[in-house]
Amino acid sequence: MVEISSKLVSDLRTETGAGMMDCKKALVESQGDFEEAKKILRKKGLAAAASKAGRAASEGLVVAHVTVKGAVLVEVNCETDFVARTEDFRTFAEKLADRIEAHDDFGDTRSGNVAELAKLSWPAGETIGDAVTQLVATLKENIQVRRFARLVPRTGETFASYIHGNGRIGVIVGLPGGDAELGKDLAMHIAASDPRFAARSEVSPEVLATEREIARAQATAAGKPANVVERIAEGKVEKFYQEAVLVEQPYVKDPEKTVGQVIVERAGKGALDLRFVRFKLGEGLGRNAEEAA
């Protein structure tokens, strides 16, 4: 029987990210052949990934990465908060954000193509998809790259980011004018107040029609006359703007002012043409229902 040295096991662990015992078993199975042991671990990783693929993964991390070249926001999911806090998981998520930022072909997008992302190369000479598979084998949970956004700077635009709650909510902001402090303040406000749009111009006619329809139905059900129903509907639309549009929300640090007023005071009217992306961990994945259960 071939003797397996601790250094060989350690080297295999460093290169593959697999657990020490898994590395030792693979080296024993391959009779000390390092490359063959890597293949064995990859095959086991694929099997592990397949067996865990159907399991719910609504924990994880939202990670932001900002440079002069752009801003990236990415959400990586796993099954438990325990795994989300591990160094292996966090390191993968942070390196993934770096890789997205460096890949110019993604361009400027709020909804990046995760399938294309999986095909990109990874530092160890494999693909990102392979790296996810190996991480599944190492951490023993279903792990998925759920979504990412990548913003490329427009003329005069600078970026800021904010991560809240140890990766539970992430925000990136593109601000034309203003300083880093204003960008960070706005990112923190967006994390707390959850606006859906940056400005009124982003609200589609379909969204407004739905809000008016709901308001009319509620007013009619309350027995209001037709002429009053229309006034109530328009009032509801104005309230919707104040709640859903960033520049019209009360500023969290000074509720006597709107966000738009603060922006104009600190950076001028041109800075009102800002944009943002906000990810909340697990939104739309049934997190609340699971936690209640």
Residue 177 CB contacts under 8 Å (≥ 6 apart), including other chains? 156, 267, 268, 270, 271
6-57 pLDDT per residue, tens: 888 888 777 766 667 778 888 888 888 888 887 877 766 644 545 455 565 6
Q: Give the C-alpha separation, 23 to 15, whole Å.
A: 10
Domain span at residue 65 reads 55-153+160-168
Residue 142 in any domain: the answer is: yes
> Are 63 and 95 found together in one domain?
yes
Answer whether residue 164 is part of any domain.
yes
Among 141, 168, 195, which residue terminates a domain? 168
Give percent above pLDDT 90 in the chain: 61
Instruction: Let me know whether 12 and 94 are in one domain.
Output: no
Q: What is the pLDDT of residue 142?
A: 87
CA distance 196 to 247: 11
∠ CA 79-188-185, rounded to 5°:
155
Residue 75 lies in a domain: yes
Residue 28 lies in a domain: yes
DSSP state string for 132-146: HHHHHHHH-S--EEE
* Rg over CA atoms, the chain: 24
Residues 47 and 77 occupy one common structural domain: no
Domain match, 61 and 164 both: yes
Lowest mean pLDDT segment, chosen from 46-50, 237-241, 265-269: 46-50
Q: What is the mean pLDDT of residues 95-101?
A: 96
Same domain as 70, residue 46: no
User: What pLDDT does residue 81 have?
Assistant: 92
Amino acid at 85: R
- Does 222 or 249 have the greater pLDDT score? 249
In a domain, 192, yes or no: no
What is the tens place of the pLDDT at every residue in 109-134? 999 999 999 999 998 778 999 889 88
Per-residue CA distances from 48 to 124, 142, 271, 277 (Å): 20, 9, 49, 33
d(CA 235, CA 252): 23
CA distance 211 to 213: 5
CATH value at residue 210: 1.10.286
CATH number, residue 80:
3.30.479.20
What are 88's two structure tokens? 């292996």
Question: Average pLDDT of 64-88?
Answer: 94
The total number of structural domains in the chain stands at 3
How many beta carbons lie within 10 A of that of residue 201, not counting itself? Answer: 8
Q: 270: phi > 0 → left, psi -120 to 50 → alpha, else beta; which? A: alpha
**Does residue 1 belong to any structural domain of this protein?**
no
Do 61 and 107 belong to one domain? yes
Residues 24 and 107 in one domain: no
Distance spanning both ends of the chain, measured CA to CA: 52
* CA distance readout (Å), 200 to 172, 195, 240, 246: 20, 11, 10, 9
The predicted-structure confidence for 201-230, as pLDDT tens digits, reads as follows 999 999 999 999 999 998 899 898 888 998
